[in-house]
Structure 1
Amino acid sequence: MHRATQYRQGDVLLVAATDLLPGSRPVEPTDGRVILARGEVTGHAHIMAAERVRYFREDETGRGFIQVHGPGPVALRHEEHAPVNVEPGLYEVRRQREYRPRVQAALVAD
């Protein structure tokens, strides 16, 4: 089976990674959920169940990573998007940005 190297849901992009950055520290789940991003407009969140997912933040840059464990995929969920099944592996969590010519780049509002 082919493992995807990227997953996208709204303003969240997961990109396959080989290692955590030095200084990365685990972030505790909230109510059994790993929160990857919260929408600025709606307050909705991109979440994954914490049973098989660990979230890490790198101190200096604030970059985020998730480690998905287990025999199969774990769903990335959001109230306004279809679930995305993420295969086990290590991923960097990135926020998508909108391109606006002659205007400063901005985070995608979700």
Structure 2
Amino acid sequence: MTTGVPGYLIVKMSQFSKRIGAVFVLVVCLAPAAFIAALPAIIAMRLINETLADAFFDSPAAVLSTGYVTLFCGRLVSRLWKRKRAIDQSTHGENRNISSMRNKRRKQYRQGDIFIEEVHELPVDAKRQTRVRRLVVATGEATGHQHVLSPKKEAMDWWRNDAGDIYVRGAEVGRLVHEEHDAIEILTDAPFILCRRQLEFT
């Protein structure tokens, strides 16, 4: 049996080690539970303000109340959240670039004063008109010559909006002809073409 001062110190150190071990086990067991309980608040703070959330995770109160394990988990969530946002922004940027490139490649045609452009959807105010075999785009006041859209086959579907713009189904439009200009073949994969002139059908 150990006696004297050395023995007393050994006993005290043993008791202290047991207490430290118990505290460590308690922290390890309770910290995940504390983190799970704090998870809704973490997500809410992340949605409101990332800077505020980071300040909360770094505060002494957060360390003392939830333990270092919870603090680490909170920072881990923060990093994962930021990484997801960066991926979302990158994907959004790629989609925006694809849309921009598509717009740059959009085909346009011009014959005198007549301007034709590809479009991928109809405006909400576009109203369907009667199918026609030819569309008179414009008639010259002096010569009486006409700009005429003709179909690839028999007839074309077309729409007109409140502003007077004309939309023709891209798969059905054939070419634009005029007595004083070369005929223009309308080659498009777009659903519709837009003609910015007032049309009359005959």
TM-score of the superposition, structure 1-length normalised?
0.64
| Identical positions, percent | 29
Q: Which residue of 1 aligns with 2:136?
A: 35
The alignment covers a number of residue pairs equal to 89
Instruction: State the alpha-carbon separation in 2 of the partners of residues 39 and 29 from structure 1.
Output: 24
The SS at the match of 1:19 is coil
Instruction: State the alpha-carbon separation in 2 of the partners of residues 4 and 81 from structure 1.
Output: 23
Gaps of 5+ in 1: 96-110
Q: C-alpha displacement at 1:12, in angstroms?
A: 0.5
The SS at the match of 1:20 is coil
Larger Rg over CA atoms: 2
Q: Which residue of 2 aligns with 1:56?
A: 159
Q: C-alpha displacement at 1:57, in angstroms?
A: 0.9
Task: Return the structure number with greater strand share.
Answer: 1
RMSD after superposition? 2.4
> Is the Cα–Cα contact under 8 Å of residues 131 and 156 in structure 2 kept in the other structure?
no
Q: C-alpha displacement at 1:38, in angstroms?
A: 2.3
Q: Which residue of 2 aligns with 1:106?
A: none
Task: Confirm or deny that 1:19 pairs with 2:121.
Answer: yes
Instruction: State the alpha-carbon separation in 1 of the partners of residues 138 and 128 from structure 2.
Output: 16
Query: Pick from 154, 159, 177: which aligns with 1:77?
Result: 177
Task: Mark the CA change 1:87 to 1:52 in structure 2 (over 3 Å): closer, same or farther.
Answer: farther
Gaps of 5+ in 2: 1-104, 198-202
